[in-house]
Amino acid sequence: MELLPIKRAILSVTDKSGLDEFAAFLARNGVEIVSTGGTASFLQKAGVKVLEVSDITGFPEILDGRVKTLHPFIHAGILADKDKPEHLRSLERLGVAPFDLVCVNLYNFARAAENNLPAGEAVEEIDIGGPCMMRAAAKNYHSVLVANSPALYPRIMKVLAAGAMKAPLDLRRECAAGVFAATSAYDAAIAAYLAANGGGRTK
How far apart CA 132 and CA 143 sit, in angstroms, is 16
Contact criterion met (CB below 8 Å) for 2 and 167: no
Name all domains of the chain by residue range, CATH numbers in brackets. Answer: 3-197 (3.40.50.1380)
pTM to 2 decimal places? 0.90
pLDDT of 202: 44
Lowest pLDDT segment from 68-72, 111-115, 180-184, 198-202: 198-202
Kindly indicate the confidence band of residue 115, based on its pLDDT and cuts at 50, 70 and 90.
Answer: low
Name the percent of the chain lying above pLDDT 70: 91
How far apart CA 33 and CA 173 sit, in angstroms, is 22
46-52: which pairs have CB atoms within 8 A and are 24 or more residues apart? 46/20, 48/20, 48/23, 48/24, 50/11, 50/23
